[in-house]
């Protein structure tokens, strides 16, 4: 082979091993920066899952009075089915509600399951056309409220709207945060590379003296920069993974019931994206730091 | 001109350029090239600060295979002259022809390829202290992307020539000054350059070591390499009957053979 990339890899490895403290410090700083970004992404991922779950659920829950008779319930169901925008109505008995909860929960020791079946209200779960506007939902809510058998109506609308606003704010904040994180990655890797450059001044002088091209001299530094960025992002993903497992282990049941979705970790493409972004930013930072090589 | 593109084109390829084959026995040998001076300075001007020129119209011809001392008082411009040859500095005016090519007009991209034809040795050795002796010498060939096996053989040969056989694995920093300078010389010669530049290579060594190192350069010269040896050490100049090039007041004066000193003020009044 004419081109021998192993020189660059070897020199990069030697450089990192020799200056490992410098690189460890840099990677640690990058990990902290990427943890901020990753945490924001993680929160956003889950908020979005909740929002999607509730927005596209197109669902209205009609909570029935315990005193409601089967005939009243049947009448309500038929009336609902005839309403514009309603596509399907399911009657969920108290037992079914508890079983459903138990199935989602999967934890036999949950104290809620020890409660009598009456603790879970019977409901009519109404599938609503997802395109039905807020006005239509409000009308439906008002009409339903007047029925004998109905205890209360949950349209989830205010809750979804609030969530949507929260998600929008979160996206903007994450965007801003990622700019700050990217800037800090550039600053950290750039200054690490400049310091490494300073410490390896003789090495660079010698390389220039024996006729190494600038590209040949720069390559190991670029590799070191991208390795730092990738390592920082990987460290952040691992740290977040551990934190995620810890948090989920403690709050799983309550969270799931409350939110209606399982807490999820970052999707694989976000993880890969973070590592690739780290490597890319590291390379860019290194090449910026290398603009002026030592003159010989 | 036959060599015009050699610094640019031959790039990574050792044998591709027209320089090396001419110097290595048994390779393609150009008669025309052999008769051409390896180095010509034509009215070269150089100053770092306005009004204080270091070189003021310097002229010089070095033939292929010569050994020449470059001398002159401290600050006369010896280092500057050598640095212009490997383009660490550039001339303000005039031409510097190295193997027929004007290196004062060389594009920055071509400078590395120029340097692959020149070996340089310094007073301060300039070794990478935490590299091994082997690595310090091998770097010259690695830049050329030679296969590892060939690098190993040729570094071994170079270390043998400077008397450091079998010392390759030692870290450069544990070697004595004289040994470090031998490593630096091995690094300069391992690529078999056409020209060796030595800038006060004995300045940091005691007198006996200095003479040994001078002897080493003479051996290299005997193998056919052109050597420019800058020094202000008169004991060395007196030691050997080589050509002496004197730099003073921005001009180059030539003392062809040896140096007869009477009053110790020979530099400002060169002999003819
Ligand atoms: N990089 C530089 N910047 C400014 N002046 C320099 C520089 N290098 C050398 N000089 C000046 O140029 C003159 C010649 O220096 P130099 O070539 O090092 O002389 P020598 O090697 O003969 O002692 C000196 O006056 C020195 O101060
Ligand atoms: Mg000098």
Looking up tokens 């000193």 gives B261
* pLDDT value, residue A234: 97
ipTM: 0.85
pLDDT tops 90 at residue B126: yes
Distances, alpha carbon B85 to alpha carbons A60, A277, B27, B228, in Å: 86, 44, 26, 11
Would you say A178 and A37 are in contact if contact means Cβ atoms under 8 Å apart? yes
Q: Which atom of ligand 1 is nearest to the CA of B73?
A: 22
Q: Ligand 1 site: residues with CB under 6 angstroms?
A: B 48, 54, 72, 74-80
pLDDT tops 70 at residue B20: no
Burial class for A152, CB neighbours closer than 10 Å (0-12, 13-18, 19+): middle
Q: Give the mean pLDDT of A160-174.
A: 86
Whose CA is closest to A83, among A122, A128, A150?
A128
- From A293's Cα to the closest Cα of chain B, the distance in A is 13
Which of A3, A205, A216 has the CB atom closest to B143's CB atom? A216
A108 touches chain B (CB under 8 A): no
Q: How many whole angstroms from A71 Cα to the centroid of ligand 1?
A: 108
pLDDT tops 50 at residue B15: no
Using 50, 70 and 90 to split pLDDT, how confident is the model at B121?
very high
First to last CA, chain B: 35
Q: How many whole angstroms from A218 Cα to the centroid of ligand 2?
A: 29
Would you say B120 and B188 are in contact if contact means Cβ atoms under 8 Å apart? yes
C-alpha–C-alpha distance, residues A129 and A87, integer Å: 6
Whose CA is closest to A215, among B11, B131, B133, B105?
B11
* Residue ID of nearest Cα to ligand 1 atom 13: B75
pLDDT in tens, B91-110: 999 999 999 899 999 999 99
pLDDT in tens, A24-55: 999 999 999 999 999 999 988 888 888 777 76
Would you say B232 and B244 are in contact if contact means Cβ atoms under 8 Å apart? no
Whose CA is closest to B149, among B161, B138, B137?
B138
pLDDT in tens, B50-67: 888 999 999 999 999 999
Would you say A26 and A114 are in contact if contact means Cβ atoms under 8 Å apart? no
Would you say B130 and B174 are in contact if contact means Cβ atoms under 8 Å apart? no
Question: Which strands form A59-64's sheet, in the order they lie side by side?
Answer: A86-92, A123-128, A59-64, A150-154
Q: How many whole angstroms from B224 Cα to the centroid of ligand 2?
A: 26
Which of B88, B129, B144 has the CB atom closest to A296's CB atom? B88
pLDDT tops 60 at residue B28: no
C-alpha–C-alpha distance, residues A290 and A272, integer Å: 27
Alpha helices in B58-147 (DSSP H): 78-85, 111-115, 133-142
Between these two residues, B173 and B272, which has the higher pLDDT value?
Answer: B173
Which CATH number describes the domain made up of A58-155?
3.30.70.3040
* pLDDT value, residue B16: 37
Would you say B189 and B220 are in contact if contact means Cβ atoms under 8 Å apart? yes
The number of beta carbons lying within 10 Å of the beta carbon of residue B50 is 6
A208 touches chain B (CB under 8 A): yes
Chain B residues in contact with A10 (beta carbon < 8 A): none
B112 contacts A208? CB cut-off 8 A = yes
Would you say A227 and A219 are in contact if contact means Cβ atoms under 8 Å apart? no
Question: What residue ranges of chain A are covered by domains with CATH 3.30.70.3040?
Answer: 58-155
Which of B49, B53, B54, B78 has most ligand 1 atoms within 8 Å of its beta carbon, as the pocket-test mutant? B54
DSSP secondary structure letter of residue B11? T
- From A211's Cα to the closest Cα of chain B, the distance in A is 4
Number of H helices, E strands in chain A: 9, 4
Q: Compute the radius of gyration of chain A from its Cα atoms.
A: 29
Q: Which atom of ligand 1 is nearest to the CA of B247?
A: 22
pLDDT in tens, B145-198: 999 999 999 999 999 999 999 999 999 999 999 999 999 999 999 999 999 999
* 3-class secondary-structure state, position A256: helix
């Amino acid at each position: 082979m004419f081109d021998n990339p192993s020189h660059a890899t070897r020199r990069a490895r030697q450089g990192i091993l020799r200056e490992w403290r410098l690189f460890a410090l840099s990677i640690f700083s990058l990990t902290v920066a990427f943890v901020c970004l990753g945490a924001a992404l993680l929160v956003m991922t889950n908020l979005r899952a909740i929002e999607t779950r509730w927005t596209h659920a197109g669902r209205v829950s009609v909570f029935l009075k315990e005193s409601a008779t089967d005939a009243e319930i049947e009448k309500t169901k038929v009336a609902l089915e005839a309403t514009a925008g309603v596509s399907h109505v399911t009657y969920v008995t108290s037992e079914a509600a508890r079983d459903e909860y138990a199935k989602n929960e999967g934890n036999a020791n949950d104290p809620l399951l020890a409660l009598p079946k009456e603790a879970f209200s019977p409901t009519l779960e109404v599938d609503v056309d997802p395109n039905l506007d807020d006005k239509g939902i409000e009308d439906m809510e008002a009409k339903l409220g007047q029925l004998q058998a109905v205890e209360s109506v949950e349209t989830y609308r205010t809750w979804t709207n609030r969530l949507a606003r929260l998600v929008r704010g979160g996206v903007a904040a994450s965007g801003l945060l990622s700019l700050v994180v990217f800037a800090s990655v550039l600053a950290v890797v750039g200054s690490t590379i400049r310091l490494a450059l300073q410490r390896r001044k003789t090495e660079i002088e010698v390389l220039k003296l024996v006729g190494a091209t600038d590209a040949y001299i720069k390559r190991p530094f670029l590799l070191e920069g991208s390795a730092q960025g990738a390592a920082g992002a990987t460290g952040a993903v691992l740290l977040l993974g551990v934190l995620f497992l810890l948090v989920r282990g403690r709050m799983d049941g309550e969270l799931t019931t409350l939110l209606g979705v399982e807490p999820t970790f970052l999707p694989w493409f976000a993880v890969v994206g973070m590592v690739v972004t780290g490597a890319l930013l590291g390379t860019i930072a290194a090449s910026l730091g290398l603009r002026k090589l030592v003159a010989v | 001109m036959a060599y015009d593109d050699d610094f640019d084109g031959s790039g990574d390829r050792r044998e591709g350029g027209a320089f090396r084959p001419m110097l290595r026995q048994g390779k393609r040998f150009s008669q025309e090239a052999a008769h051409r001076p390896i180095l010509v300075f034509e009215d070269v001007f150089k100053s770092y600060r306005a009004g204080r020129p270091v070189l003021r119209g310097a002229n010089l011809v070095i033939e292929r295979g010569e050994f020449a001392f470059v001398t002159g008082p401290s600050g006369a411009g010896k280092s500057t002259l050598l640095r212009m040859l490997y383009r660490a500095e550039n001339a303000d005016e005039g031409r510097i022809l190295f193997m027929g090519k004007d290196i004062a007009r060389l594009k920055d991209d071509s400078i590395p390829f120029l340097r692959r034809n020149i070996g340089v040795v310094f007073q301060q050795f300039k070794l990478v202290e935490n590299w091994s002796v082997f690595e310090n010498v091998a770097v010259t060939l690695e830049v050329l992307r030679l296969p590892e096996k060939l690098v190993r053989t040729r570094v071994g040969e170079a270390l043998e020539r400077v008397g450091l056989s079998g010392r390759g694995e030692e870290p450069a920093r544990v070697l004595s000054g004289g040994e470090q300078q031998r490593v630096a010389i091995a690094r300069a010669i391992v690529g078999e350059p056409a020209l060796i530049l030595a800038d006060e290579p004995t300045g940091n060594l005691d007198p006996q070591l200095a003479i040994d190192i001078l002897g080493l350069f003479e051996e290299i010269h005997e193998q056919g390499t052109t050597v420019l040896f800058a020094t202000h050490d008169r004991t060395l100049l007196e030691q050997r009957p080589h050509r002496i090039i004197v730099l003073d007041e921005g001009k180059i004066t030539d003392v062809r053979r040896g140096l007869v000193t009477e009053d110790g003020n020979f530099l400002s009044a060169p002999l003819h």
